[in-house]
Structure 1
Amino acid sequence: MRQDADPGLFGPRSVTWQVHSDPVMWLAGVRALWLQALHPVAVRGVMINSGFRQDPWGRLMRTADFVGTLSYGTTPAAEAAGARVRRIHRRLGVDDPELLLWVHCAETDSYLSVARRSGIPLTDAQADRYVDEHRTSARLVGLDPVAVPGTTAELAAYFDAVRPRLAAGPDARTVEEFLRRPPVKPVLAPAREVIWRRVAALAYDTLPLYAHALYGRPAPPPEDVTHRLRVTANLLRCVPARMRWRLPPRHILRAMDRLGPETRPDPYAYPAPYPLSEPASILEEPGKAQENDGGGSTRWGTPD
């Protein structure tokens, strides 16, 4: 890796750098929307303040751009993106820490759960590292990272605690209807029926059992869902990575240009346990966490 280049908030030695390069993350993002809709107060804020029903694909792409910037952008770019989000939250009055924490945890759980079930070989230590890394993302949206789950056990405990407050109310039903049949131009209607409905249904099926119960639909056998998810993910992975990464906004390719071709993400390179050195310094000043990110392999932080 080029020693004078800015690795960003996570850098090539992070679990995030590897996992977020996989195309199954798009499906994980849809799963997060299904899950987030089950918090009545949080989803009410979305319904009041968001234009997702008028511009669903624009909203989806802006979210993807934000996640891509945090994952692969420079430190100043990520900090600026976070500042913009915090300003929007304040202006719309949706900066309640409880609601921000729900959105954050639903996203983190969805990304991690779908990644592991789709076949990405994350060990328990790597999964914990991923959850810990995303306390950095939590800070950028306005949360105190100390109050955010930092391990999979803490994440599970959070969901146990928040579950009594979850419900599939009218707003969740509106989101459900939208996700199953989003508005599209007439020319795209066949693609919605053939492709999107299958994607949305599979994302829904990956939800935890309590979410299925709240939505009032029987949960399919988990092993069947995992099999379908792996088949779908492997089909997506047949598209060459370089081709996928060329789609706008090209965050991964720009990061590789900045840091060197050897920083190419590969979530399958090293299934061995992630070497837990010092975790990302979420409590330090921006840009400090990756100062020592060099000298070893750029994949999973394995030694030379």
Structure 2
Amino acid sequence: MDVVTRPVRDSLARMILTKVAGPDPQSERDRVHATPGPRWFAEDRPIRRLHGDASMFAGGLRALLLQSLHPLAMAAVAAHSGYRGDPWGRLRRTSYFLAITTYGAIPDAEEAIAHVRSVHERVRGTSPDGVKYRASDPHLLKWVHIAEVDSFLAAHQRYGAHPLNAEEQDQYVEDAALVAEKLGVIDPPTTLAEVRRLLTEYQAELRGTTEARQAARFILIHPPVPWAARPAYGVLTAAAVGLLPWWTRLPLRLPYLPLAEQTVVRAAGEGLTRTIRWALASPTLASPTLASPTLASTGAEG
């Protein structure tokens, strides 16, 4: 059976890895994992388990949709991000950033942080309704951070191979706070309860702008995905939307079908995530533990 399935498994793994890690994923793996030196996170830390799981694909899409509800974050993405012109390049850069800060040697992680901060300093402008923004604004950085943390956790708890217990969820938030603080977030949350409190506090600033709805249509309806992969991508996007809070649906013009999301969508999402996880564990390719990416940010990863 392995002789029959291995070519299929390897082909699927190559297709995913070239999108996430570029044309030479083995080189990227070595750059992240084989460079000697201390790391920020020990091997038993929850952030390493979570960022290496296939559930991050759904979590990344959810993060983008959630982050887009902040009009200043979305204005920065629309004006400065390459999510339309170079979505796969952006995907690879974001994946590398997550991988190097989670698993890489500290000097390499610090170099990636410095690069992101320099990009943030250049990302500034005025939103369509006349409000000035800058990507280095700690308040805006905190929104991007909590939306990512909440999304990655939500996806992992539903679709991850080994969901975290309550203590591990808090530890994950604490781990993520280390990177957030280095990026310029002031007083990032260190517990899941703090993340949820901050999400509630930010809700008054959120709304569905034209730019946010355009981004949602691009990601969900008109993605740069080959037609042969559209059915699987459709399952992934349905899983991501199903993880969003109910209050996000109307502003983004997204459906809210709780019964279907808890049954059909969940079952399909679990099947797809297992398939991705199976492919990326291919012994032939020695696939890299490169964090499955989020497409969302204010242009942080260039």
Give the TM-score normalised by the residue count of structure 2. 0.74
Q: After the TM superposition, which residues 232-243 of structure 1 pair with which residues of structure 2 at under 5 Å, given as runs? A: 232-239=272-279, 241-243=281-283
Q: Counterpart amino acid of 1:101? A: K
Unaligned runs of 5+ in 2: 1-35, 125-134, 292-302
Match of 1:261 in 2: none
Match of 1:127 in 2: 169
Q: Counterpart amino acid of 1:96? A: D
Match of 1:20 in 2: 51
Identity %: 33
8 Å contact kept, 1:56–1:182: no
Identify if the C-alpha distance between structure 1 residues 245 and 75 changes in structure 2 by more than 3 Å, giving closer, same or farther.
farther
8 Å contact kept, 1:73–1:251: no
Q: CA deviation at 1:182?
A: 4.1
Identify if the C-alpha distance between structure 1 residues 181 and 64 changes in structure 2 by more than 3 Å, giving closer, same or farther.
same
Identify if the C-alpha distance between structure 1 residues 108 and 235 changes in structure 2 by more than 3 Å, giving closer, same or farther.
same
Instruction: Tell me if 1:223 matches 2:265.
Output: no
Q: Counterpart amino acid of 1:59? A: R
Q: After the TM superposition, which residues 148-297 of structure 1 pair with which residues of structure 2 at under 5 Å, given as runs? A: 148-182=188-222, 184=224, 189-221=226-258, 222-224=261-263, 225-239=265-279, 241-243=281-283, 246-247=286-287, 250=288
1:148-206: CA deviations, max 9, x gaps? 1110100000011011111111010110111023453xxx6313532323322321221
> Which of 130, 148, 157 lines up with 1:107 in the alignment?
148
1:111-142: CA deviations, max 9, x gaps? 11100111423110000110011111202322
Q: Counterpart amino acid of 2:252? A: Y
Q: Counterpart amino acid of 2:142? A: L
8 Å contact kept, 1:89–1:95: yes
Aligned residue pairs total 243
8 Å contact kept, 2:232–2:272: no
Instruction: Tell me if 1:81 matches 2:120.
Output: no
Match of 2:158 in 1: 117
Distance in 2 between the 1:91 and 1:62 partners?
A: 17
Q: Counterpart amino acid of 1:133? A: D
Identify if the C-alpha distance between structure 1 residues 18 and 244 changes in structure 2 by more than 3 Å, giving closer, same or farther.
farther
Q: Counterpart amino acid of 1:117? A: R
8 Å contact kept, 2:235–2:269: no
Identify if the C-alpha distance between structure 1 residues 63 and 130 changes in structure 2 by more than 3 Å, giving closer, same or farther.
same
8 Å contact kept, 1:29–1:110: yes
Unaligned runs of 5+ in 1: 254-304
8 Å contact kept, 1:138–1:148: yes
Q: Counterpart amino acid of 2:246? A: L
Q: Counterpart amino acid of 2:203? A: R
Q: Counterpart amino acid of 1:30? A: L
Q: Counterpart amino acid of 2:120? A: H
Distance in 2 between the 1:244 and 1:102 partners?
A: 40
Q: CA deviation at 1:244?
A: 9.5
Q: Counterpart amino acid of 2:66? A: L
Q: Counterpart amino acid of 1:11? A: A
8 Å contact kept, 1:245–1:251: no
Match of 1:293 in 2: none
Distance in 1 between the 2:284 and 2:69 partners?
A: 32
Q: CA deviation at 1:246?
A: 4.2
Instruction: Tell me if 1:143 matches 2:143.
Output: no
8 Å contact kept, 2:38–2:105: yes
SS of the aligned residue for 2:40 comes to coil
Q: CA RMSD in A?
A: 2.3
1:220-240: CA deviations, max 9, x gaps? 225324444323222222225
